[in-house]
Amino acid sequence: MQRSIRVVAMAAVASLSACGGSAATRVDPAPRMTAPPEEQPPADFGPREQTADEQVNHVLARLTFGARPGDVETVRSMGVDKWIDLQLHPERINDAASDRYFDQLESYSTPSSVLQQKYPPPNQLLQRLGAKGDRSKLTPAETAELRDATAGVRKVTIEAQSGRVDRALLSERQLQEVMTDFWLNHFSVYIQKGPPERYQLAQYESKVIRPNALGKFHTLLEAVAKSPAMLFYLDNWESQADSNRPRLVPLPGAGGRGRGGRGGLAGLGGQQLTPQQQQMLARRRGGLNENYGRELLELHTLGVDGGYTQQDVINVARALTGWTFPRPQQGGGEFAFNPQMHDAGEKVVLGHRLAAGRGIDDGEDVLNIVSRHPSTARYIAFKLARRFVSDTPPGALVERAAATFTRTDGDIRATLRTIVTSPEFFAQKAYRSKVKSPFEVVVSARRALSAPPDGTLRTAQTIATLGEPIYGHQSPNGWPETGDQWLNTGSILNRINFGVAIAAGRIPGVSPTNWKGAESLQNATVEQQVDGVVSALLGGGVSPDTRAILITGKNPFLASPAALDTTPEMAKPKEPVDPDEAMMMLPEPGGGPPLRGPARDRAFGKLQLPAKGLALIVGLAIGSPEFQRR
Amino acid sequence: MQRRVFVRSGALALVTMGLSPSFLRRTAMGMELPLAAKGKVLICLFQRGAADALNVVVPHGERAYYNLRPNIAIPAPLRGTGAAGSTGAAAAAIDLDGFFGLHPSLAPLKPIWDAGMLAPIHAVGSPSTTRSHFDAQDYMESGTPDAKGTSDGWLNRYLATSGTCEQCAPTPFRAVAMTPQTPRILEGTAPAVAMNSLEEFAVRSGGGDQTARLEALYRTGSADLIHGTGQEMFEAVKMLRTANPTQYQPQNGAEYPKSQFGQRLKQIAQLIKSKVGLEIAFADVGGWDTHVNQGGATGQLAQRLDDFAKSIAALTSDLGDGLENVVILTMSEFGRMARQNGNGGTDHGHAGAMFVIGGSVKGKKVYGKWPGLSPEQLYEGRDLALTTDFRSVFSEIATKHLGATNLSAMFPGFNSPARLGLLG
């Protein structure tokens, strides 16, 4: 008890000083005037340990999803610093080609509520048609309607998942895409949360996250807080005043707070109502759901040790009651504040008093408070440094980045600039020190091998097989950002098998022998082929031993490589990948409904034919330890 | 980060000392595999998302339970109806001892109870006050509540500190997680294998020297995490191939559910029976974070429990007499609020429940002191209070079943394990 009081007091002091001495009991909802724009070059470039060539490889490895043929030359001729500056300003980069590609995808150009009306979840449709559990009642027209809805839901899923891959593949605004991936992981949502979630995903990515990926953190946070994707995922859309609290506007038919009380519900007597009626009543009478309030503090802003209490969690959740969107069963829609759901009582959040009877301002103030909290600056700075520099980022760098974040009122672009122009970023220790995520493995291979956008679910399935199903992280903490968590015997095996599948020409759209730059290698010597592949896929940097193995197949460390045949007799050839299994590709790590089917052990199903020549070298390179790094 | 003692830090240290390459090469080649244990197996099953213990092991003798949960409580067993399964019984709790009962979806576990091999523990969990899934899972897996700095999991610390069996064969499969990533509970210096399925655990090259070359690429003398993990993988693939577990038929009529969880338990049984030296197995299953519409005797939670119980029941029948040497332990990061919330669900709570199953388990008894559910008995006025620290359960199983001797290394700072007397 004593401890929590102290924490509140400390937080209050901290925010007091952050507010420049304004009254701690009342928050100024208007954004404070901030430091000058971040356009001037950073004051101190510091010494860079990496050579000029290493710097080129390094920025391509960290600020993009992998170099395409020709990218090294582009960065080299523009100069590393100018290129970084350009990537920090995506609005200055023409990206018409990828825009054109996405304009033709319905999910990206259509509001989610329209999508959901057009392609209702099959179960919902069956219910409406009165045929749940018995499809034989359907008329031919209804059967056709059901078929169309099912196909539509699949299309929505495919577009959301493959859209992530294809934008990362195509976009010239690579740093913006890397940041989009970063924030989608920071503000992780889960496709299997429930039927409405998948309709929201394309909009969440393209309207909520990407436009704000390099902007002000507060703007991004507010956009997320008001997005149906997050409102639904973390349950805030149905969180409302507890029955013993006053509502901003009383429920129709309820005489103020009196009848909403617990006594009223219990007094009705459980036996007199059907369970459905009880449930409806309970839902209408409502109750607080802490889920979003907790994760907002723990995962989105202050961080788990950021100095908040259980009481803060409850009060943040109370402040955000009424932040909702039209019920998915009624077609869904965009953010709306519902005063009938809002807890009108006074709240104290992190030492700030929110007066009674205000409404939506409570939530807006909470977002102001948490987005500008010193713990948030440190937490976001730490996560960015970990993503861009190293799994264990230097403390001094995190401090400087946090200072930039605070000084610029949460300017993500400026904070990122501090990080990616720092001596720590260009240190030898940082070079190739990050382990690629499965998404990065697959996208970087496709970029290096000039693969076109896929547009089906197969590439997304491949990424799922490697352990990172898109929108498939069930719990809200997102995918790992450190290498040790991505590496285990099973995941290495899958990555190797991905290389084997590429060599065998079994990854859609990827040819191991027909990519930009491969023409001159077709009839070259094996040494030239190896050097070409090493340059295209491994950034040129492999040890002499690795090079020797790629060339001769002989390993100086092993007496007889042929004796190590581990070809599995047990692995029987299987069916080819069935795109219908897309929705089954998601694992179930933390809480959703069980998934049908054999999950994801089918993507590399068939035993591959032995590859030869250039294809073999490409497959070996992608399966090699070096390709797993960036 | 310093996961594999020998290959990683050993060879790395040699690099920095500048020893000759040939010596380094032999060192990097000399993968030291752990030795297999003496035939005892512990299977840990994690219910991620915080299972609602009060609706799993139902305190139907407690009036307050029904007051707290007007819409989602599991009805008390019907008195005097005789055989379970008679009309109407499916919607009620399955009585265990007149006070506690199992959720009706756990019916497949009832025969295990009747055979005296099932011991539920109630009001058990972490002494930490956290209601965060991530923190609580972290603590349950690290075995150090409220200490976030612990880098390894308690199962891994068991592996790392337990004595080796001199006459046993080396095995990469001493610890296996049927999960895509190594779970926190098995992270640490002792090797552990993580995989989605046994079938998938092979290099899918159709011939030639491609596989050999790939292996060579991971044996170039570099001693980082990627190379080391790759080397372990190639060892494991070879061993599994020798054991040839694909021709597997469950025994004693066991029928595993087709769910991912059921299939993973089946593969754990395969590993046990193929005698590759398995000592610690781990699997997890999600779907327990029932904030909304969790249902009562039927519904969301009931469905999860159905799969859970059928999978475990299949595993126990499949293992048959082998269950003598096996302990199955289920856990979840915390329980849920005693009172239902406004959405027909339950929010994060405190103490939970575990199941201990095995041939050596002194079952047919619900363990743990019952704290009660009246307002003054609830933890912070809202949750089931804790009466058994999960480390007591872990300690007892590690010592009595696995023969662990170094408890202070497994659970640093935990000096007062209570003896529940779970194992004979």
Distance, first Cα to last Cα, chain B: 38
Q: What is the CA radius of gyration of chain A?
A: 27
Cβ atoms B354, B329 nearer than 8 A: yes
pLDDT of residue A522: 86
> Is residue B279 helix, strand or coil?
coil
What are the CB-based long-range contacts (under 8 Å, 24+) for B297-302? B297/B74, B297/B75, B297/B90, B297/B91, B297/B92, B297/B103, B297/B104, B297/B105, B298/B91, B300/A593, B301/B52, B301/B55, B301/B103, B302/B103, B302/B104, B302/B105
Rounded to whole angstroms, how far apart are CA atoms B5 and A391? Answer: 20
Which helix (H) or strand (E) segment holds residue B392: the answer is helix B390-400
The two beta strands, A336-337 and A323-324, are antiparallel
Determine the Cα–Cα distance for residues A237 and A234; give it in Å rounded to an integer: 8
Residue A269 backbone dihedrals phi, psi, to 5 degrees: 80, 115
Chain A, chain B: beta-carbon pairs less than 8 Å apart: 298
Q: Do A484 and B3 touch (CB under 8 A)?
A: yes
CB proximity list for B383: less than 8 A, separation 6 or greater: B335, B336, B337, B338, B349, B350, B351
A34: left (phi over 0), alpha (psi -120 to 50) or beta: beta
Each residue's pLDDT tens digit, A544-584 = 888 989 998 665 554 433 333 333 333 333 333 332 333 33
Reduced to 3 states (helix: H, G, I; strand: E, B; else coil), residue B363 is coil
Closest C-alpha to B189, from B165, B219, B158: B158
Residues B407/B397, Cβ–Cβ less than 8 Å: no
Do residues B103 and B85 lie in contact, with contact meaning Cβ atoms separated by under 8 Å?
A: no
pLDDT < 70 stretches in chain A: 1-46, 132-134, 253-286, 328-329, 331, 553-610
Give yes or no for a contact between A105 and A163, defined as CB atoms under 8 angstroms apart. yes
CB proximity A171 to B under 8 Å: no
**How far, in Å, CA of A289 to CA of A281, rounded?**
16
Query: Cβ contact (<8 Å) for B210 and A569?
Result: no
Of residues A294, A492, A608, nearest to B205 (C-beta): A608
Helix (H/G/I), strand (E/B), else coil: A354:
strand
The pLDDT value given to residue A488:
78
Based on DSSP, count helices (H) and strands (E) in chain B, helices before strands: 13, 11
Cα dihedral A256, A259, A261, A265 sign? negative
Domain boundaries, chain B: 37-201+253-410
* Conformational region of residue B319, where left means phi above 0, alpha means psi within -120 to 50, and beta covers everything else: alpha
pLDDT digits (tens, 9 = 90+) for B402-417: 999 889 999 999 988 8
Neighbours of A392 (CB within 10 A): 12
Tokens in use for A301? 């802003």
In a domain, residue A187? The reply is no
Amino acid B28: pLDDT = 35
φ/ψ (deg, to 5) at A590: -135, -5
Which residue in the block uniquely carries the two structure tokens 């897996």? B141
* Phi (first) and psi of residue B221, to 5 degrees: 95, -15
Domain-embedded: residue A85: no
pLDDT at A555: 55
Give Cβ neighbours of residue A614 (< 8 Å, ≥ 6 apart): A512, A513, A518, A521, A522, A529, A533
Give the per-residue SS3 of A220-258: HHHHHHCCHHHHHHCCHHHCCCCCCCCECCCCCCCCCCC
* Buried b / exposed e along B98-115 (16+ C-beta atoms within 10 A): eebbbbbbbbbbbebbee
Residue A109 identity: S
In chain A, the largest separation of any two C-alpha atoms, in whole Å, equals 87
DSSP-H helix ranges across A28-79: 52-63, 71-78
Q: Phi and psi of A44, rounded to 5°? A: -130, 105
Asked if A490 lies within 8 A of B28 by C-beta distance, the reply is: no
User: Which residue do the tokens 């701690």 mark?
Assistant: A24
Q: Write the secondary structure of A542-566 as one string of H (helix), E (strand) and C (coil).
A: CCHHHHHHHHHCCCCCCCCHHHHCC
Q: CA-CA distance, A603 to A501, in Å (whole number)? A: 10
One CATH from 1.10.10, 3.40.50, 1.10.3470, 3.40.720 for B37-201+253-410: 3.40.720
For A290, list phi and psi in degrees, rounded to 5. -85, -5
Do A623 and B71 make contact, defined as CB atoms within 8 angstroms?
A: no
Q: Is residue A216, in this structure, part of any structural domain at all?
A: no
Q: Is residue A314 part of a domain?
A: no
Domain assignment present for residue A392? The answer is no
Query: Going by C-beta distance under 8 Å and a sequence separation of 6 or more, which residues neighbour residue A112?
Result: A199, A200, A202, A203, A228, A332
Cβ atoms within 10 Å, residue B258: 12
The rounded distance, in Å, linking the Cα atoms of A373 and A353 is 15
Q: Please give the full DSSP string across B71-97, using - where no structure is assigned.
A: TTPPPPPPTT--STTSTTGGGS-EESS
d(CA A196, CA A120): 9
β-strand pairing of B193-194 with B280-285 = unpaired
Chain centroid, CA A112 distance in Å: 19
Interface of B with A in 240-279 (CB under 8 A): 241, 244-246, 258-261, 263
Half-sphere exposure of residue A76: CA atoms within 13 angstroms, side-chain side: 10
Contacts of A569 in chain B (CB under 8 A): 241, 244
pLDDT of residue A253: 62
Cβ-nearest to B285 among A282, A549, A588: A588
> B32, B164, B96: which is closest to B363 by C-alpha?
B96
Which of B322, B333, B346 shows the shortest CA–CA distance to B386? B333
CB-CB neighbours of A382 under 10 Å: 18
* CA pair distance A269, A286, nearest whole angstrom: 17
Report the gap between the CA of A260 and the closest CA in chain B (Å). Answer: 12
Q: Is B252 exposed, middle or buried (0-12, 13-18, 19+ CB in 10 A)?
A: exposed
Nearest residue of chain B to residue A237 (CA atoms)? B343
Give contacts of A261 with chain B, Cβ < 8 Å.
none
Q: Interface pTM (ipTM) of the complex?
A: 0.79
Does the CB of A286 have a partner CB in chain B at under 8 Å? Answer: yes
Q: Are strands A323-324 and B352-358 parallel, antiparallel or unpaired?
A: unpaired
Please, which residues have CB within 8 angstroms of residue A343's CB and are 6 or more apart in sequence?
Answer: A240, A241, A242, A245, A246, A247, A248, A288, A318, A319, A321, A322
Length of chain A: 630
Q: With an 8 Å Cβ cutoff, are A493 and B194 in contact?
A: no
- Give the distance from CA A254 to its chain's centroid: 42
Is residue A401 assigned to a domain?
no
Q: What's the one-letter identity of residue A189? A: V
- Whether A267 and chain B come into contact, CB under 8 Å, resolves to no
Closest residue by Cα to residue B331 from B44, B24, B21: B44
Residue A559 CB burial class (10 angstroms; 0-12, 13-18, ≥19) = exposed
Residues B63-73 have pLDDT tens digits of 999 999 999 99
Q: Is any Cβ of chain A less than 8 angstroms from the Cβ of B183?
A: no
Residue A277 lies in a domain: no
Residues of chain B with pLDDT below 50 are 1-32, 82-89
Residue A148, both tokens:
């169309």
Say if CB B354 and CB B120 are below 8 A apart.
yes
Q: Which residues in chain B have Cβ-Cβ distances shorter than 8 Å to A487?
A: 225-226, 229
Q: How many domains does chain A have?
A: 1
Could A238 and B207 be called an inter-chain contact, meaning their C-beta atoms sit closer than 8 Å? Answer: no
Rg (CA), chain B: 23
Domain that holds residue A481: 438-628
The residue behind tokens 């359960």 is B393
pLDDT of residue B31: 38
SS (H, E, C) A461-511: HHHHHCCCCCCCCCCCCCCCCCHHHHCCHHHHHHHHHHHHHHHCCCCCCCC
Chain A stretch 543-562, residues whose beta carbon is closer than 8 A to a beta carbon of chain B: 543, 545-546, 549-550, 553-558, 561-562
Closest residue, chain B, to A596 (C-alpha) = B259
pLDDT of residue B5: 28
